[in-house]
Chain A
Amino acid sequence: MSRMPLPKSDGATPSGSPLLGPLLSSLLLVALGAIPGSLLRWLVDDLTVVNLLGAFVLGWLTAMAAARPRAWLLVGGVGFCGSLTSFSGWILELHTHIQGSGWWVALAGWFLELTGGLLMAALGMGLGRWMQRRWLPQMGNRPRR
């Protein structure tokens, strides 16, 4: 199998379907998460809500990913949470609020979403770590790939 430029920071070895190869399987898994993620963002139609929700879910997924296959983060993290949340929309809202309510209100809103996002990510991570500890005996039996 040829070596592909897969992320090293996940701490996992490249794996994938032998039919598709590591890059194509990764792209397939990312697409599998990106479709429901983007549709949910479009249906909810409130960027702050999906951004905070996505930060929480990704924090949880990241903490849970340690004992799980790489596909977990590709579908749920890169695909679903990455597409559910949007940075460009967040900056566009800042721009819209500057024109509508002035610089200070817009910057305060931007800062609130930043601190809220960090808090939700930390809460999700905390929950994931707690669940890992709580169900560690069962999870220890899973093959670490």
Chain B
Amino acid sequence: MMPKQALLVAAGAVPGAWLRFLLVNHLAERLPSKPWGTLIVNLLACFVLGWILPGLQRPGAPPEASLLLVTGFLGSLSTFSTLMVELLTVRALGPLVRLVFGSLVGGFLALMVGLVLGR
């Protein structure tokens, strides 16, 4: 493990996890159930990923920025495990289908919109 690279990943991961924690708690009081808050934070991460990715892939872009922002910040901001466990708690079929399709279609659209804007 390269110490400098590990430091970049961790330095991005901590604010990413903090923002997810604070946003999910904030949204939990305003949305029908907790999975919707997790979904919104995940979609936000997809949008930002699409938005900054073209710039990070340009020749001459520092690899450090990718470690800090993509691997660290956005990787930690978005979560797969929480979504899976929360999906298991959804007992009604309607909300479950909406959450799954919201993740697939919403996540993909958020990424695409970000990619177009970041080009």
A interacts with B? yes
The chain A residues found within 8 Å of chain B, CB to CB, are 5-9, 26-27, 30-31, 33-35, 37-39, 41-43, 51, 54-55, 57-59, 62, 77-79, 81-92, 94-95, 110, 114, 117-118, 120-122, 125
Within the assembled complex, what's the spacing in Å between the Cα atoms of A51 and B50? 20
A-B contact pairs, 21 of them (CB 8 A): A30-B18, A34-B10, A34-B17, A39-B9, A41-B75, A51-B81, A78-B21, A83-B75, A86-B74, A86-B78, A88-B48, A88-B77, A88-B107, A90-B80, A91-B49, A91-B108, A92-B46, A92-B49, A117-B84, A121-B81, A121-B84
Count B-side interface residues using an 8 Å CB cutoff. Answer: 50
Task: Say yes or no for B98: interface residue by CB 8 A criterion.
Answer: no
A27: chain B residues at CB < 8 Å are: 18, 21
Question: Quick one: given A89-B75, A95-B111, are A55 and B80 in contact (CB under 8 Å)?
Answer: yes
Within the assembled complex, what's the spacing in Å between the Cα atoms of A81 and B85? 11
Within the assembled complex, what's the spacing in Å between the Cα atoms of A118 and B79? 14
* A110 adjacent to B71 (CB under 8 Å): no
Contact residues of A: prevailing secondary structure: helix
CB-contact partner of B9 in A42, A81, A90, under 8 A? A42
* B34 adjacent to A87 (CB under 8 Å): no
Within the assembled complex, what's the spacing in Å between the Cα atoms of A135 and B111? 45
* B76 adjacent to A83 (CB under 8 Å): yes
CB-contact partner of A79 in B17, B26, B72, B77, under 8 A? B17
Contact residues of B: prevailing secondary structure: helix
Nearest first, the 7 closest Cβ-Cβ pairs linking A and B are A38-B13, A34-B17, A85-B80, A54-B81, A87-B78, A87-B42, A91-B107
Question: Quick one: given A55-B80, A81-B79, A84-B81, are A38 and B9 in contact (CB under 8 Å)?
Answer: yes
* A83 adjacent to B13 (CB under 8 Å): yes
A81: chain B residues at CB < 8 Å are: 79, 81-82
CB-contact partner of A125 in B13, B14, B88, under 8 A? B88
* B82 adjacent to A77 (CB under 8 Å): yes
